[in-house]
Amino acid sequence: MKVVSLIAQKGGVGKTTLSTCLAVQAVQDGKRVLVVDLDPQATASFWSDIRKKPDDPAVMSIQPVRLPAVLKAAEDAGTDIVIIDGAAVSKEVAYSAAEVADLVLIPFKAAVFDINSVAQTVQTVKQVGSKFALVLTFVPPQGKETDEAMGIAEQLGSNFCPVLIGNRKAYFRAQSTGLAVQEFEPDGKAADEINALYTYMADQLAVRTKGKGNARKLA
């Protein structure tokens, strides 16, 4: 079983949206998936509540103290991938989520306040020694954000995910209807971004996928 944690110590960066979209992509890839919602706002759980197929993927809202037991139960049940949606602002939750992860994805926007918060998140992840990468979100059609973000990653000694997540209305519209964007708009650019991000995630985890990328064995 592999564990992927999405954490950010600032809200509004697309953490829950990416968590649910990646979970759906993993289900479409034939994986048994659990989303663990550690956010007190329970946004991922609300998304699951309004979803027409709420158990696909399964979403569980828990307190961080229950995380080890839930992961053990998920592994015993034959789960392939657990995606943890961490809580914004809480350093303790970020630490708990990073500590159990095989891969941490840190979504952020190329803005001054986001840079300050992402530096704190990176420091937390480095303390536990987990593999991680920064994921740039809300990227406008034009601008210097990509170059700036790569510079930030270099300054922080961080891996920079090559997949950019655009500022697209499809993400918000899909989320509000209990769908992942690739279900809402299968042929759209946002769906392509999620597919590429999932492929990147699977490659980092060394997980075999049904896509066009290199096959990897599930450890």
The CATH number of the domain where 66 resides is what? 3.40.50.300
Percent pLDDT > 90 in the chain is 67
| Beta-carbon count within 10 A of 113 CB | 9
Percent pLDDT > 70 in the chain is 93
How many folded domains does the chain comprise? 1
Better-scored residue on pLDDT, 121 or 26: 26
Whether residue 212 has pLDDT greater than 80: no
* Domain extent at residue 189: 2-205
pTM of the model: 0.91
Task: For residues 88 and 121, give the distance between their C-alpha atoms in angstroms, rounded to a whole number.
Answer: 10
Per-residue pLDDT, averaged over 181-205, amounts to 97
214: in domain: no
Task: For residues 121 and 37, give the distance between their C-alpha atoms in angstroms, rounded to a whole number.
Answer: 18
Can you give the pLDDT at residue 143?
Answer: 67
Can you give the pLDDT at residue 52?
Answer: 85
213: in domain: no
Give per-residue pLDDT as tens, 53-65.
878 999 999 999 9
- Mean pLDDT, the chain, whole residue set: 89
124: in domain: yes
Asked if 69 and 125 count as a contact pair (C-beta separation under 8 A), the reply is no
